């Protein structure tokens, strides 16, 4: 097993570069966020907002139709799709180059169907970020579908236990990596000092972040940043881009924690653009 690389600000400098002058919104990702049932609408809103503020070109949110109002009130930059309209959802999945599934999706029958459609429809050239309830749903299946595209799982420790079969006490680097390699995907294991297991066998460790980030919605926000980065920095190595996205999330929070006792997901979202400006 490789040793873990401790991430530093350098990982941001390597990824957040000036954009090519002759580029347009189509060059910076067609992102689809799938999530947000009637009770957890906010999760999808935060994921979509983080994506827009982190530089995504085009963001669409497939969510319960009752969530359209709040989403547009906060984020007019995003388009919406009713996630129970499977025909339109399928179309949206086909057009996206980067997809997040999971934030606030829930665990009911509709969520299960949406996940199934997503896994079977996603383009082989797309990147799929699987988070939250979508991880739990996948773990419940006997023979989980494995999409052929690039996949990034973003479990916290309990979700990783479900997906990997490793109890939290067993979640040591070597065991984690074995499980991750069986999944043939990147795994962002969210914990005190988050670990990122890349598909190429390298492992990164996040030395920043802290308990001021312990508010519901923090993980949803991370998915949006990852999506924006995978969508807009397509010419760079995916492992580097993923590291930068995860680092950015905590770096902004760490910065804001100097002046706030807790840093909310929406605080991070609001400061992404200014923080990223330091590196371009």
Binding-site sequence positions for AMP: 190-194, 219
Residue written as token pair 């706030």? 260
Task: List the one residue from 13, 116, 146, 260 that touches a second copy (CB under 8 A).
Answer: 260
In angstroms, rounded to a whole number, what is the distance separating the alpha carbons of residues 55 and 248? 13
In angstroms, rounded to a whole number, what is the distance separating the alpha carbons of residues 222 and 162? 20
Nearest-approach distance from CB 196 to a second copy, in angstroms: 18
Q: Which is nearer to a second copy, 144 or 234 (CB)?
A: 234
Stretch that binds a second copy, among 12-20, 117-125, 134-142, 163-171 (CB under 8 A): 12-20
Question: Is 145 an interacting residue with respect to a second copy (CB under 8 A)?
Answer: no
The string of DSSP codes covering 146-192 is --SSEEEE--BHHHHHHHH---GGG--HHHHHHHHHHHTSEEEEBST
Question: Is 143 an interacting residue with respect to a second copy (CB under 8 A)?
Answer: no
Binders in 109-128 for a second copy, by CB under 8 A: none
Question: Is 27 an interacting residue with respect to a second copy (CB under 8 A)?
Answer: yes
Task: List the one residue from 7, 15, 16, 138 that touches a second copy (CB under 8 A).
Answer: 16
Q: In 3D, which of 226, 252, 220 has the Cα closest to residue 239?
A: 226
**Phi and psi of 117, rounded to 5°?**
-60, -40
Binders in 205-244 for a second copy, by CB under 8 A: 210-212, 214-218
Letters for 147-186 (x = contact with a second copy by CB under 8 A, - = none) are ---------x------------------------------
Query: 41 with 66: CB under 8 angstroms?
Result: yes
Residue written as token pair 């109890």? 167
Q: In 3D, which of 183, 122, 172 has the Cα closest to residue 149?
A: 122
Q: In 3D, which of 114, 110, 112 has the Cα closest to residue 87?
A: 114
- Find the length of the chain: 280
Please give the residue ranges that form the binding site for a second copy (CB under 8 A).
Answer: 16, 19-25, 27-28, 38-43, 45-46, 49, 52-53, 55-59, 66-81, 156, 192, 210-212, 214-218, 257-267, 272-274, 276-277, 279-280
């Amino acid at each position: 097993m490789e040793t873990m690389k401790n991430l530093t600000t350098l990982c941001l400098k390597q990824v957040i570069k000036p954009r090519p002058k002759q580029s347009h919104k189509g060059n910076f990702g067609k992102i689809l966020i799938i999530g947000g049932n009637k009770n957890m609408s906010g999760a999808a809103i935060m994921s979509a907002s983080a994506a827009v503020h982190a530089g995504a070109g085009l963001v669409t949110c497939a969510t319960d139709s009752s969530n359209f109002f709040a989403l547009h009130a906060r984020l007019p930059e995003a388009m919406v799709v009713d996630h129970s309209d499977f025909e339109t959802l399928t179309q949206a999945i086909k057009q996206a180059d980067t997809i997040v599934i999971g934030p606030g999706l829930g665990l009911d029958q509709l969520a299960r169907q949406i996940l199934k459609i997503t896994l079977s429809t996603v383009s082989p050239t797309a990147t799929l970020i699987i988070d939250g309830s979508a991880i739990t749903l996948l773990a419940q299946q006997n023979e989980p579908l494995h999409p052929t595209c690039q996949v990034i799982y973003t479990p916290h420790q309990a979700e990783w236990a479900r997906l990997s079969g490793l109890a939290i006490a067993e979640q040591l680097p070597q065991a984690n990596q074995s499980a991750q390699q069986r999944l043939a995907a990147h795994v962002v294991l969210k914990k005190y000092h988050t670990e990122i297991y890349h598909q190429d066998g390298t492992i990164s460790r996040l030395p920043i972040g802290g308990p001021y980030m312990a508010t519901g919605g923090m993980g949803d926000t991370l998915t949006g940043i990852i999506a924006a980065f995978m969508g807009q920095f397509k010419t760079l190595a995916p492992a580097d881009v993923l590291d930068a996205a995860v680092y950015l999330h905590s770096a902004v929070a760490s910065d804001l924690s100097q002046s706030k006792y807790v840093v909310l997901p929406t605080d991070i979202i609001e400061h992404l653009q200014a923080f990223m400006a330091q590196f371009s």
